Amino acid sequence: MSNLYNTVIIGGGAAGMHCAAHALDAGPVLVIDHAQKSGEKIRISGGGRSNFTNLGCSPGNFISHNPHFAKSALARYSQWDFIDLINRHGIAYHEKTLGQLFCDGSADQIIQMLKQEMLGSELRLATTVVSVQKTDLDFEISLDSGETLRTNNLVIATGGKSIPKIGASGFGYQIARQFEVPLIETRPGLVPLTFSESDLAFLKPLAGLSLDVSIQCGKSSFQEAMLFTHRGLSGPAILQISSYWREGDPITIDLCPGVDCYEVLRAARSANGKRAVATVLADILPKRLASVLSDHWGLVGTIADQSDKALGQLCQKIHGWQLNPIGTEGYRTAEVTVGGVDTNALNSSTMECRAVPGLYFIGEVVDVTGWLGGYNFQWAWSSAYAAGRAIARSSKP
């Protein structure tokens, strides 16, 4: 005998739990997750304080093959709606930088809030979906326990492939392929970049050093902190640009954004021409970086020895340091997955699959990827709300 639900949501993360809260009006809701705990990505985000949204969230903060797709869901449920929810639950929060909002306390507050909001629905953890079938009337879902479920609405909120150690998998893409829903090629996003051994030879001595930079790849650019590591480059600026980087692309780094290095170096030459070039470079760059770059670029002699042309060429390197990554650290450390379910297959206002009525895809499994800074959680909340309310409306007499 099958157990009947109006809605079954596969995935007990941010999108899945939020969707359950809004689909409840339509009838019984079941949320299934193979993990031992729900909301693990929420729990580990923001250093345990959850960067749950961003004050400046807009469609321009997202990557998708269809840049217009996210507009409808983000308008229906914006960052201000989620902030209202946070306020109703009395969760204290603060803005860190660039509009990023974090809990004053633990990220667990967000998880507990979502569980309270979805009270009345059923949450089953440590439960694996073995198969999904579409009948003439509904969907049949077989579980590892041997139980069979039937549902009118099936919501896929399984996330992407990023951070497999907390249970991430490609299950959502598997379901999409089963129902012939097209996929956009997936790749790691918001992830550190790796470099060749020759580049690492001079990058490794800088491990642990961080500085604010402006970084560009193609037409995309960001100005945030960059961190040197033993494996390559990381930090917010690198994570941001990694979502746009493709194999073979160079990245260009301005090590002194907003500073006219040429005028600074000329002034230093006039003030004390006997100083070594490397020493003067340390006036505008961290000392360790100035030393390594001086060696790498072969800077010798005093600042007085440098002509205007030579200073100009040096400044071009400082403002346009070009590197060629060979890859990323992969899904192991990636915060998100770029790509996923093709948005052309979905209704932008409901997240329902156009060719398979009753089948919905929400959150990270969809080809909508936000910038670093709370944008991906906002997409989870917005897409979940769109699907949940659509289900509630469609089930009313």
- The pLDDT, as a whole number, for residue 384 is 98
298 and 339 both lie in a single domain: no
80 and 208 both lie in a single domain: no
Query: What does 183-201 look like in DSSP terms, one character per residue?
Result: EEEEEEES--EE--HHHHH
> Cβ distance 135 to 152 under 8 Å?
no
168-190: per-residue pLDDT in tens? 889 999 999 999 999 999 999 99
Measure the N-to-C terminal CA separation of the chain; round to a whole number of Å: 27
166 and 205 both lie in a single domain: no
- Write out residues in the chain with pLDDT < 70, as ranges: 1-2, 395-397
- Helices 79-88 + 108-117 axis angle, to 10: 90
Q: Which domain holds residue 289?
A: 192-329
132 and 269 both lie in a single domain: no
238 and 386 both lie in a single domain: no
Residue 202 sits in a domain of what CATH number? 2.40.30.10
Nearest-angstrom CA–CA distance, 179 and 298: 59
Count of the separate structural domains present in the chain:
2
211 and 92 both lie in a single domain: no
- The pLDDT, as a whole number, for residue 396 is 55
297 and 311 both lie in a single domain: yes
Last residue of a domain, one of 298, 329, 360: 329
286 and 348 both lie in a single domain: no
240 and 93 both lie in a single domain: no
Residue 64 sits in a domain of what CATH number? 3.50.50.60
- The pLDDT, as a whole number, for residue 119 is 97
257 and 196 both lie in a single domain: yes
User: Under DSSP, is residue 34 helix (H, G, I), strand (E, B) or coil?
Assistant: coil
346-372: per-residue pLDDT in tens? 999 999 999 999 999 999 999 999 999
> Cβ distance 70 to 62 under 8 Å?
yes
Nearest-angstrom CA–CA distance, 63 and 44: 23
Q: Which token pair is 336? A: 């998100």
320 and 342 both lie in a single domain: no
322 and 345 both lie in a single domain: no
Helix (H) / strand (E) element for 153: namely strand 148-156
- The pLDDT, as a whole number, for residue 96 is 94
Last residue of a domain, one of 299, 329, 359: 329
- The pLDDT, as a whole number, for residue 247 is 94
- The pLDDT, as a whole number, for residue 169 is 86
Last residue of a domain, one of 329, 350, 374: 329
Q: Which token pair is 134? A: 């579409």
- The pLDDT, as a whole number, for residue 393 is 92
DSSP 139: E
